[in-house]
Amino acid sequence: MPGRICSTLAANYLNKFGDFTVALYGAFAYASFVPGYAPITGVGVASPANMITGANLSSWKQWVAGAQFRLRRLHRRRRDRLDNNGLGSNYFTGVDNDTRFYTAGVMYETGPWQISAMWAGFYNTNGNGSASVTAIAPGSNAQTLNIASASGVPGINSTAFNGNPATALLFGGEVVQKWEVGANYALGPGIKAVGGWMMYNGYGPTNAVTGTSWAVMLGMDLRF
């Protein structure tokens, strides 16, 4: 079986200048990868190196940096992160499979009101390509992908790279964006009316990575 040796490094800074508070932080994590001989399931790679699609497992790397600011009743926060998902650059496209995460949020309090908004964006370079969903089994979420029977040698006769939508991978970035807006109103000691709206929007080169969902929440927060 494959093995990994992990290491992390992190630092943070916190200070207050009058009514202004600042917090900064950053971290880096790395896990070396030693391939084994047994197939790996559940990660979209049939083995540590898939010679049909060019996908391969590699050392895992992640870094994160963020900042949080507070000025009286105004709070702001931002965080950036990169994760290579434990995958190396595709053997045949030469493009990595890194995901870059960006988040930003703000909250403001005034009187009985507390209002907040947040955005997050997740951008994957998709060097391994996206498969298409051709069928979903009735009564389950089991998907059939168009590359299930991909075979051959990329650059020569691989059906994963021949451009036929019925069998080929499609390339282009995969993106998910998330928006949140929330508010609460203090009706009295320990009683708040709360409400919020949230939306996810995902898009990319195939139907497997494209979709939109949203939700609205209304309720009460009671504390005794």
**pLDDT value at residue 102:** 95
Q: Are residues 26 and 123 in the same domain?
A: yes
Both 58 and 95 in a single domain? yes
Say yes or no: 90 and 40 in one domain.
yes
61: tokens are: 């790397």
Q: In this predicted structure, what is the pLDDT of residue 218?
A: 95
Chain Cα centroid distance, residue 138: 28
The verdict on 22 and 125 lying in the same domain is yes
* Alpha helices (H) in the chain, listed in sequence order: none
Domain span including residue 152: 136-168
Residues 48 and 107 in one domain: yes
Give yes or no: residues 80 and 104 share one domain: yes
In this prediction, residue 154 has a pLDDT band, given cuts at 50, 70 and 90, of: low
- State residue 5's pLDDT score: 66
Q: What is the pLDDT of residue 121?
A: 96
Whether residues 151 and 118 share a domain: the answer is no
Check which CATH number belongs to the domain holding 99 and give it: 2.40.160.10
The predicted pLDDT at position 42 comes to 44
Residues 190 and 163 in one domain: no
Report how many domains make up the chain.
2
- In this prediction, residue 7 carries a pLDDT of 81
43 band by pLDDT with thresholds 50, 70 and 90? very low
pLDDT confidence of residue 92? 85
| 81 and 14, same domain (yes or no) | yes
Residues 215 and 109 in one domain: yes
pLDDT of residue 198: 97
38 has a pLDDT exceeding 80: no
pLDDT digits (tens, 9 = 90+) for 156-191: 677 888 888 788 889 999 999 999 999 999 998 889
Q: Which residues pair with 14 in a beta bridge?
A: 23
Q: What confidence tens digit (pLDDT) does each residue in 46-60 have?
A: 567 777 788 888 888
pLDDT in tens, 184-206: 999 988 899 999 999 999 999 99
Residues 6+ apart with CB under 8 A from 88: 56, 57, 58, 59, 96, 97
Residues 6+ apart with CB under 8 A from 192: 184, 185, 186, 220, 221
Q: Is residue 128 classed as helix, strand or coil in its secondary structure?
A: coil
Q: Are residues 208 and 147 in the same domain?
A: no
Quick: pLDDT tens for 83-107: 998 889 988 888 999 999 999 999 9
| Residue 196: per-residue pLDDT | 97
Helix (H, G, I), strand (E, B) or coil at 20: strand
pLDDT above 70 coverage of the chain, percent: 90
Give the model's pLDDT for residue 1.
47
So what's the pLDDT on residue 163? 80
Q: Does residue 40 surpass a pLDDT of 60?
A: no
CA distance 16 to 42: 46
Give pLDDT, residue 50: 78
Residues 61 and 97 placed together within one structural domain of the fold = yes
